[in-house]
Amino acid sequence: MRVFAQSSRCPSQVLFAFDDIATSDVEHIRWAVAYSTYAGCDRLVKRIINRIGAEKWNDIDKQFVTSLDYGLTEPNALEYLKKIPKSKVFVANPGVANRPGFRPARAYHPKLYLFNGPTKSGYVVGSANLTNSALISNTEVVLAGNEEPTNGGWDQAWRELLRDASPLTDELIREYRDNWKRPSTKHVVVPDPTPVAPSIDKKEKLSFWEAIESGAINAQAFSHLWVEAGSMLSGGSNNQLELPRGANQFFGFDFTQYGTSKKAEPIGKPLLTLKGTPWTDRKLTWHGHNRMERLNLPTLAQGGFDYSWTSVLFRRHSGGFEIDVLPWDDDGAVACRAASVEQDSVFRLGERSTSRICGLF
């Protein structure tokens, strides 16, 4: 069992909690949450598909339970869940759809995510609802683990969570949507507020190497490093990510032989993981001609990403460094930048003319 604590200084930990739980041998998925939003459903489902593949996801039996309590679940989220292949969706306290303020007699408040396989039951349980904010930016804590499915404890818990729930129907969605629209905007609680991107004056920032040389940072003391990828036009496969001088220290190397040579100098091969797959042959090198370090990432054809104009995040974990890639303006990428701003750990990649930035948290 592992504990994942999420805060403004360490975002997206709830989302990362699913990485070791969503494995290719999962046969049955069951989620019971108090509140759901379209963005939260979409983010978590895409994360799971990235781990197990679309074909496997479509073939798995799934059950989802959520509530309409206080109007915090979005109608679009209900429709999203209902359209997922091989899924059954239930609504707790469905009668609140016609009550003022959608107030329940007893609130439905679990946050349980189960992933059952033939030899183990994976779980994520804690404070996080199925909302975008809960997955990436709220202050939350969850426990994640795997155990042998011997005592039926999770099955018994699931039966209790289904006790006051009814199957979701198209009629209930229409009824809820009509009543959900009715209150004036000022009375509607927004469970997923749009995060505001932090303002960063790039010209005023130290370069990553200047921060290391001055003793302002110790790269190995941080668990996350994100890099603004830019156009990624170098190299034929658009997979050569330029890293700041000194980035190798984050990956556990101690290369300092930068000198004045313009030729490429090998540094090492960090142990990377991407969508759960390990990579041990990715070269990290120093390139004297542009005075940057460079890492060859898995290409799109190899199961990687299109890295152009993204935020590339490296997350330290027991099996190496997981690569996560998000569009630069995605809420998750914005949360990462905000975490680094809060810790005063945003830097330019290189010289004063460099327009791209990176950060640690």
d(CA 248, CA 251): 5
**pLDDT at position 151 over 90:** no
Q: What is the percentage of the chain residues whose pLDDT exceeds 90?
A: 83
Using an 8 Å Cβ cutoff, are 56 and 24 in contact?
A: yes
Over residues 73-120, the pLDDT tens digits come to: 999 999 999 999 999 999 999 999 999 999 999 999 999 999 999 888
- 109 Rama sector, left if φ>0, alpha if ψ -120 to 50, beta otherwise: alpha
**pLDDT at position 283 over 70:** yes
Rg of the chain on CA atoms, in Å: 23
Q: pTM here?
A: 0.93
Over residues 37-52, the pLDDT tens digits come to: 999 999 999 999 999 9
pLDDT (0 to 100) of residue 52: 95
pLDDT (0 to 100) of residue 191: 75
Using an 8 Å Cβ cutoff, are 227 and 358 in contact?
A: yes
Bridge partner residues of 6 (DSSP): 140
**pLDDT at position 286 over 80:** yes
Q: What is the DSSP letter of 138?
A: S
Kindly give the residue spans of alpha helices, DSSP state H, lying in the chain: 13-16, 38-52, 54-59, 75-83, 132-136, 153-162, 170-181, 208-213, 331-342
**pLDDT at position 58 over 70:** yes
Over residues 203-235, the pLDDT tens digits come to: 899 999 999 999 999 999 999 999 999 999 876
Q: Which domains are seen in the chain, by residue range?
A: 2-187 (3.30.870.10), 202-360 (2.40.330.30)
- The long-range contacts involving 82-88, CB below 8 angstroms and separated by at least 24 positions, are 82/168, 82/173, 84/45, 85/57, 85/58, 85/59, 86/58, 86/59, 86/60, 86/61, 86/62, 87/62, 87/63, 88/62, 88/63, 88/64, 88/167
**pLDDT at position 186 over 60:** no
| Summary mean pLDDT of the chain | 93
Q: What is the DSSP letter of 40?
A: H
pLDDT (0 to 100) of residue 290: 80
259 — pLDDT class (breaks 50, 70, 90): confident
**pLDDT at position 338 over 90:** yes
Rounded mean pLDDT of 164-186? 85
